[in-house]
Structures are given as structure tokens and as C-alpha cells.
Amino acid sequence: MSRLTAQLLDGKAVSQAIRSEIAHDVAALKRSAGVAPSLAAVLVGDDPASQVYVRNKIIACAEVGMRSVEVRLPPTATQDQLMARLRRLNEDPDVDGILVQLPLPPTLDRTAVILALDPAKDVDGLHPLNAGRLLMRLEAPVPCTPAGIVELLERYRLPIAGQHAVIVGRSEIVGRPLGILLLQRDATVTMCHSKTRELPVITRQADLLVAAIGRPAFIRAEHIREGATVIDVGVNRLGDARAAAALFGEDSPRVHQVRERGYTLVGDVHPREAAERAAHLTPVPGGIGPLTIACLLRNTLRAAQARRQAAVR
Ligand code: GUN
């Protein structure tokens, strides 16, 4: 067996490049419209990971010169309270983009929330009007993680047309829209999910393998064709030092991280086994995560451009 070591695709560096382009356009919009784009990030409950994600989005806004507001609702918030808050954000002329951090507490109806968003402010691209526009190849905000994945492949000049892309995970926010984007770029797309039989047989056919299932280190060597490009969308918290040692090696700084911070992050792909079989691999952290944020900033900028320019006309 060969011991190929995958090239790591540096999502952080690509995200930095996208962010400086955005900062430039934000400054231009400020000059022409007199105001910076603004994002409202809605967080319901106190899930620690979601808190970190929202905080990172707020910091990223400031770094490109955008305004943002974090809207916090307690875990006990009712559907009516959340809907009332969203209505106010929809109507607030000063808010360009609205993001409701997912997952919501299980008592709340996520579909009703998505349907309640003003499609013009839906920077996640989840509202059916935007999802439908994407299907029809019309201008629309594209869900941030799939947009980030395509951007990463394009900036590294990795081929998409004619490639067999296998996507594991059929979520509305990642797997399904990514399938559409790759199909539009002439890939042959296979969607796999929890009921797929003989998963490794299918994933081993992939030139481009995307894992978006939320199960730590689920994709192993047996799933990966030698020389494939592997995109790891998973962000899972691993709190067991022994499990971290098995994944990263006994002497890995990740093991110390678990002991010191209480957890380390691991993707949906086994990091060492994938590095030995893939030609290109996204790391966790520092792969797709930063690109998701960069694409959120871009969707917010575009929403602001459309709204502010429409107001000037
Ligand atoms: N939770 C995990 N990823 C995302 C995302 O891209 N958008 C929202 N709103 N919630 C998420």
C-alpha cells in the first residue's frame, strides 16, 4: 500500500483572500450608500458550539467593516417569540442579512422559521424562494458551506467537470445544495445517506468525496479511493484523550488540547487514514469552516448591495 500524504487545502488562507475582496467592496458600498452592510445573527439557547460559531461570525463582520448585531433568545423561547423577533428584523430597514443559527432547540419548528425570513435578507439561502432560484440557475444567495466548498476547489484549480463527486449527507444546508452546485459545474453527482447500502463501495468510486454527516472520523481508509480529493465538512467535539490519541497519534498536540481545553475538533473523516490515501484533503479545523464564514459575509454584502442600490434608484 502506498503512503501518499495528501496536500492539505488551506481554507483559512482562501477565506482570508475572499475576506479582503469583501472588505474592499464593503468600503466601496460605504462610500456610495453611506452605510455599511449589517448582519443580524440570531442565537436561540446556550449550545456552546453554536455560541462559538455566532461569536466568530460577529468578529468576522467587524474585520471586513460590516456591522452586526447578535440577537440572543433563551432556550425557553417559544415559537411565537422567535417569529415575532424575526418579523421585527425583517421590517428593520437597517438590517441587510438575517442568520438564524442552526440547530434550533428541539421544541422549535425550523421550517416555520425559514419560511418566515424575508428572502431578500436570507443570507443562508435556505428560504424556498432562494432554494428554488438556485435550482433554476437564477441569481440567489447560495448556502454558505456549499458555496465555500466550490470556491475552495476553484481557487485550487481542482477539476469539477466530469469528476465523480460522491456526497455523504443529504442535509438541506450542505449536501443537497452542494449536489446542485456540482451538477451545474458538470460533475457526475452521487448522493449518499444513512440508508445507503454498501457505502464504501460507492464512496471508493469518488474522485471528489464530501463528508457532511456529523459523525466523528466516520470516513475511513476503506471509503477513499487513492488519489481522491476529500472535503471534510464535519466539526465534532471530541472529549476523550484516548480517542484523540487513536485518531491523531499519541504525541499529537490534539491529545494535550483535550486534557487542557476539554476537547479537540475532529471532522467526519479519519484524519490520518485520509491523509494516507487522498491526494487533497481539507483539515479540521482550518478547512471548510473559515470558508463558510467568508461566504456568509459575501451573501450579506450582496444582500446589502441589492437593498441599498434599490433604495437609491
Ligand atoms: N449551523 C451550522 N452551519 C450553519 C450555517 O451555515 N448556517 C446556520 N444558520 N447555522 C449553521
pLDDT for 2 equals 55
> Given a cut of 80, is residue 312 above it in pLDDT?
no
Question: Which residues form ligand 1's pocket by a CB distance below 6 Å?
Answer: 99-102, 124, 144-145, 173, 292
Name the region of 47 (left: φ>0; alpha: ψ -120 to 50; beta: rest).
beta
What is the spatial distance between Cα 270 and Cα 251, in angstroms, rounded to a whole number? 17
Confidence (pLDDT) at 310: 66
- Dist. CA 123 → ligand 1 center (Å): 10
* Predicted confidence (pLDDT) at residue 4 exceeds the cutoff of 90: no
- Point out the ligand 1 atom lying closest to the alpha carbon of residue 103: 1
Model confidence over 212-232: pLDDT tens digits?
A: 999 999 999 999 999 999 999
Average pLDDT over residues 288-303: 98
Task: Tell me if 243 sits within 8 A of 200, measured CB to CB.
Answer: no
So what's the pLDDT on residue 309? 77
Q: Domain ranges in the chain?
A: 33-119, 143-289
CB 96 within 8 A of CB 37: yes
Q: What is the mean pLDDT of the chain?
A: 96
Q: pLDDT for 47-61, tens place per residue?
A: 999 999 999 999 999
Q: Could you please state the CATH topology (level 3) that the domain comprising 33-119 is classified under.
A: Rossmann fold (3.40.50)
| Ligand 1 atom 8: residue of nearest CA | 101
User: Which residues does 200 contact at the CB level (< 8 Å), separation at least 6?
Assistant: 222, 223
- The answer to whether the 33-119 and 143-289 domains have the same CATH topology is yes
CB atoms < 10 A from the CB of 138, how many?
10
CATH topology for the 143-289 domain:
Rossmann fold (3.40.50)
Q: pLDDT at position 37, please?
A: 98
What per-residue confidence (pLDDT) applies to 311?
62
